[in-house]
Amino acid sequence: MPLEVNLTLCLPRDTKTVPLVRHLIGAMLEEFGVMLECRGDVELAVTEACANVLDHSKVDDEYEVRVAVDPDRCQIRVIDTGHGFDFSTLSEESDPYSERGRGVQLMRALVDRIHFESEPEAGTIVHLVKDLHFAP
């Protein structure tokens, strides 16, 4: 895949935007010939990152998803202007009977690199990097 593509989405804080983001990124990776399992990992990881925004931002906030795809990897930044979140408080394994708290666990398992930046009242950036595998 010789192309390098950058895409920026500016979105309202609405649950309907989560499948929209997932479908757009999935379609782009499919167009580039990325393997199904790899696409599925990216789609789920970005879904969790966007759902996290809905959890931790204010009702009227907007958020941004920046996608950069090159022949080696897909980098996604999900950026919100909410009240921030202390990711260091999250444990690697959640209570198996908890009804919440598996989003970060899934993101960590599905992408190759993940980085969180968050400051109180200054929003959060979730940076996901997935090495891409292409169909032969």
Partner 1 sequence: MDLGLDVSERNGYAVLAVSGEVDVATVPRLREQLHGLVAQGSNKIIVTRDGVDFLDSTGLGVLVGALKRVRSNDGDLFLVCTQPRIRKVFEVTGLTKVFSLFDSVDDAVAS
Binding site for partner 1 (CB under 8 A): 15-16, 18-19, 22, 36-37, 40, 43-44, 47-48, 50-51, 54, 93-94, 96-103, 105-106, 109-110
CA distance 35 to 84: 34
How far lies 108's CA from each of 44, 104, 113, 135, in Å? 11, 6, 8, 24
123 near 79, Cβ under 8 Å? yes
For the beta carbon of residue 68, count every other beta carbon within 10 angstroms. 15
Minimum Å gap between C-beta 129 and partner 1 is 18
Nearer to partner 1, 46 or 79 (CB): 46
| CB nearer to partner 1: pick between 60 and 100 | 100
Closest distance between partner 1 and the C-beta of residue 49, in Å? 11
Of residues 57 and 70, the one with the C-beta less far from partner 1: 57
